[in-house]
Structure 1
Amino acid sequence: MSSLWLANAEPTTAWAHQTWSDLSARPNKARTLVVLPIHGFADHGFGLPLNTEETVGSALLRAAIVAGGLQPHVLVLPPLRFGAAPYAHTHFGVDTETALETLNEILASVKASGFTRVLLFNTSPWNGELAATAALDSRVSLNLRTYVIGAASLGLGFHPTDANRPHTQAVAAHLLGGTPATFPLSADVRDTDFRPGYFGQPAPLTPDATLNGERLFIEATTRLVDLLGEVVVHDTDLVLPVPKPVAPAAALASPQSRELASLTAFELAAIPDKAHALVIIPTGAIEQHGHHLPLGTDALLGRVWLQHALPKLAADAPVFVAPSLTYGKSNEHTGFAGTITLTARTLRRQLLSLATHLKAQGFRQIAVLNTHGGNSAVIVPVLRELQSILGLRAGMLSGYYRPSQSPQEASFGFHAGEWETSLLLATAPELVHMDRAVCEYPARTDAPGTLRPEGAAAVFAWKTSDLSQSGVMGDATLATAEKGTRWLEEASTALARKIESLISSS
């Protein structure tokens, strides 16, 4: 499995790779630094993809953690990718209130898991003030020790007035292994001495051939090693090892052309016949999945499905993937370490903002691929809003495949059971601990009466601790890699056929 599915993170430090029980038992939580990367999507005038901030920021963070020997002392959350996006050259953003609420809800979930030290690592020039506000709010209301590091402090700024923009462009081009494209853009920058100024479109940059992107990356990473080292030991008795020299960064794997965020602004604008194209929005969660599966299971499985379904489409099929909503509404799993939850209001506003932006780009068909059941009750009403208010063709990609399971597992194996465990055994076996797998059912199909937690004429609201001690709701011991391989092939084929039918009927 590639850790690039959720983020370019050093695997042993990835929050989403841990199980809830490993996080719960983690020693010295008070001395562990939890890092939340904040990356935006924008055309910074570099002639590079919209996700350039994450390309640069994630590579810096991963290299610095390794060079500083910080792996035992750091956990890195999946990036927050939906922050403020106030200008025409920014993409896939939300309003400032939603961005701030998202930050605060993630930080509250970190505190609920027993951690007290958080670093906000921000690359976005439009989210610096929000990061500072969230840091102060969490210090006051949550008693967290919260730190902020911005990319500009490393000599790699993204702000249109930053003198180091050419350096940032050179580093990004080096990491992407390509040459920036040049486009005839007109800068729209005004009132630069009248804070905050207006930055509708940054001036385009012509690549500076005299700049060495590899050397600049090493210099910036070395600065980050020093800053991270200071933060990690602040108010602790930790003594860190002597940092190692920063290794040169290899070019990252080329992104898939169907990923909207991997396109340049000009490539995004040039997509033909957008009204008949289909944009898939993956929605998942970071939440407990028993003692044997990672916290990122739902978000990972969304990527797995797409990785197997999209190649089954014709090469010219007009199907694209929007940035994933990695965090979901998971409050039923609170009380289990590692669960990160948004409120229903925040999730609704994120999805509504993303769909509104896609409509502004010219798209008219949206399909949500949801892999966390707790999101569904929020997503479905939002889809009705998209249909009625925005006039979009919008729906959910679900219900097209049912694996062959026992009636009991098919009815009540709905979390970390045979299905999810088998899929991860087939695709990411290194993240599965089958020696910890258990069987816990929230109900029995043959029990008297009709009241059930799910799928009955009368249901009751529940939180996971009402139904399960381990967090599992199903029989994980039934899972095998062979089942997962077969089910993934059959399910991805069914998904591809449904996508084809949506395109053909548009």
Structure 2
Amino acid sequence: MRSKIPPLCVADEATFWPWQRWPQFATRPERAAHVVVVPIVGMADWGLGHPLDAEETVLMRVLKEAAAKRADRLQLLVVPPVRFVLGPEEGCAFAVDPPIAHACIEEVVTSVAAAGFRKIVLFNSSPWNEELCDVAARDLRIDRGLQMFCIHLAALGFDFLPGRNPNRWELQTVITALLGAAPERIETAEDVAGGGKRSRAGGGKPATVTAATAAAPGLLETAAKRLGGLLQEIHAREPLPDEGRIPEATP
């Protein structure tokens, strides 16, 4: 039994990689059929009145609910989130350069592959890292022969980018409920240059903790169901033939 110490992150106990023991890995059958999720989270002030780790707060809770409600046949593992990624705007924190971010993702995925797993999902919350994940997944497919997939939190209805998400205040409602704390002052679009297109643009009326607590479960459940369906589709995919080697083009 684990000691009562703060967890690495929000996670489903049965599927979180660090909470497994080595004998559990040694006896895992059909590793090629497992789906391993690598969370990718940025840190930024998105003008929602909540802490910089709001992306991780939402992404890991959606992932935890999807994992907890997965079908028995879905063999799933989740590694700790990759937190040092791209952050090109002034509201971002702990950002690294593109080559470093790419190398960090590659190192984590390569370690997962070294343990015998081939089907890997990059689950990303950051609008600034969508292209990075797509490129990293492509490169790992080509260079390592891995069966790579990308899922972006924005596609599940929780898009942090102000100019792209008309329901962005649902996102703030969920964060308020998960943290149990009302947001601080919200910046409006007029506070930020660029007409609300930059990361810190806000606007709208924040929900109280009571209202957020009532509304958030339904929003989270919808996103978790979408994610669970996608993970199930990925799990059902046949492993790549010839250990993922890409056939050479014939003249």
Which TM-score applies when normalising by structure 1?
0.43
CA distance in 2, matches of 1:189, 1:220: 30
Q: Name the residue aligned to 1:228.
A: 231
Is 2:45–2:51's contact at 8 Å kept on the other side of the alignment?
yes
Aligned partner of 1:207 in structure 2 is 206
Q: Mapping of 1:441-452 within 5 angstroms?
A: none
Picking from 165, 168, 172, the partner of 1:165 is: 168
Cα 1:3/1:116, change in 2 over 3 Å:
farther
**Separation in 1 of the partners of 2:6 and 2:203?**
29
Q: Which amino acid aligns with 1:147?
A: F
Q: Structure 1 residue 182 and structure 2 residue 181: aligned?
A: no
Alignment-derived partner of residue 27 in structure 2? 25
Equivalent residue for 1:47?
A: 49
Q: 1:4 and 1:36, CA in 2 relative to 1: closer, same or farther beyond 3 A? A: farther
List gaps (5 residues or longer) in structure 1. 193-198, 237-506
Match of 1:491 in 2: none
CA distance 1:181–1:21, shift in 2 (3 Å): same
SS at match of 1:35: strand
- Is 1:24–1:113's contact at 8 Å kept on the other side of the alignment? no
Equivalent position SS for 2:127: coil
**In the alignment, what sits opposite 1:429?**
none
Higher mean displacement: 132-141 or 68-77: 68-77
Secondary structure, aligned partner of 1:174? helix
Cα distance, 1:70–1:52 mapped onto 2, change above 3 Å: farther
Letter of the structure 2 residue corresponding to residue 6 of structure 1 = L
Contact 1:44 1:202 in 2 (8 A): yes
- 1:385-407: CA deviations, max 9, x gaps? xxxxxxxxxxxxxxxxxxxxxxx
Gaps of 5+ in 2: 240-251
1:60–1:221 CA contact under 8 A, matched in 2: yes
Secondary structure, counterpart of 2:194 in structure 1: strand
Please say if residues 3 and 11 of structure 1, whose CA atoms lie closer than 8 Å, have aligned partners that are also in contact: no
2:151 is paired with a residue of what secondary structure?
Answer: strand
The one-letter code matched in structure 2 to 1:219 is: T
Shift of 1:114: 0.9
User: What is the CA–CA distance in structure 2 between the aligned matches of 1:183 and 1:46, rounded to whole Å?
Assistant: 6
- Measured against aligned partners, the alpha-carbon deviations of 1:254-291 in whole angstroms (never above 9, x if no partner) come to xxxxxxxxxxxxxxxxxxxxxxxxxxxxxxxxxxxxxx
Q: Residue in 2 aligned with 1:124?
A: 126
**% identical equivalent positions:** 34
The alpha-carbon deviation at position 7 of structure 1 amounts to 1.7
Q: For residue 143 of structure 1, what is the aligned residue in structure 2?
A: 145
- 1:154 positional shift: 0.8
Q: CA deviation at 1:108?
A: 1.2
Flag the structure with larger Rg. Answer: 1
What's the counterpart of residue 287 of structure 1? none
Q: How far apart are the structure 1 equivalents of 2:154 and 2:172?
A: 13
Change (3 A) 1:3 1:9: farther
Where do 1:322-361 residues align within 5 Å? Answer: none
Deviation at 1:71, TM superposition (A): 8.2
Q: CA deviation at 1:214?
A: 2.3
Amino acid in the other structure paired with 1:189: G
User: Structure 2 CA distance, aligned partners of 1:200 and 1:167?
Assistant: 17
RMSD: 2.3
Q: Distance in 2 between matches of 1:50 and 1:121?
A: 18
- 8 Å contact from structure 2 (residues 15, 77) kept in 1: yes
Amino acid across the alignment from 1:187: V
What is the alpha-carbon distance in structure 2 between the residues aligned to residue 183 and residue 75 of structure 1?
37
| 2:47/2:199 contact within 8 Å kept | no
CA drift at 1:2: 5.5
Following superposition, the deviation at residue 230 of structure 1 comes to 1.1
Describe the shift of the 1:191–1:113 C-alpha distance in structure 2 as closer, same or farther (beyond 3 A). same
Aligned-pair CA distance for 1:69: 2.9
Matches within 5 A, 1:68-467: 68-69=70-71, 73-161=75-163, 162-184=165-187, 186-189=191-194, 199=198, 201-207=200-206, 212-235=215-238
Query: Alpha-carbon deviations, 1:97-136, whole Å to 9, x = none?
Result: 1101101111111111111010111111111111101111
TM-score, reference length from structure 2: 0.84
Shift of 1:15: 0.9
Distance apart, 1:232 and its partner CA: 1.6
Displacement of 1:54 after TM fit? 0.8
User: Is residue 17 of structure 2 the alignment partner of residue 15 of structure 1?
Assistant: yes
Letter in structure 2 aligned against 1:206: K
CA distance in 1, matches of 2:199, 2:226: 31
Superposition deviation, residue 60 in structure 1: 0.5
The answer as to whether partners of 1:120 and 1:131 remain within 8 angstroms in 2 is: yes
Structure-2 change in CA distance of 1:137 and 1:93 (3 Å): same
Q: Is contact 1:87–1:201 with CA below 8 Å preserved after alignment?
A: no
**Residue pair 1:117, 1:145 contacting (<8 A) in 2 also:** yes
Secondary structure of 1:137's counterpart equals helix
Structure-2 residue corresponding to 1:357: none
- Partner Cα distance (2:200, 2:65) in 1: 31
Contact 1:189 1:200 in 2 (8 A): no
CA contact (8 A) 2:187 2:201 kept: no
Deviation at 1:21, TM superposition (A): 4.2
What is the deviation of 1:19? 3.0
- Report the 3-state secondary structure (helix = DSSP H, G, I; strand = E; otherwise coil) of the residue aligned with 1:11: coil
Q: Is the 8 A contact 2:122 2:150 kept in 1?
A: yes
Q: Give the drift of 1:178.
A: 2.2
Per-residue Cα deviation, 1:277-329 (whole angstroms, up to 9, x for no partner): xxxxxxxxxxxxxxxxxxxxxxxxxxxxxxxxxxxxxxxxxxxxxxxxxxxxx
Question: Which residue does the alignment assign to 2:248?
Answer: none
- Whether the 8 Å contact between 1:189 and 1:201 is mirrored in structure 2 is no
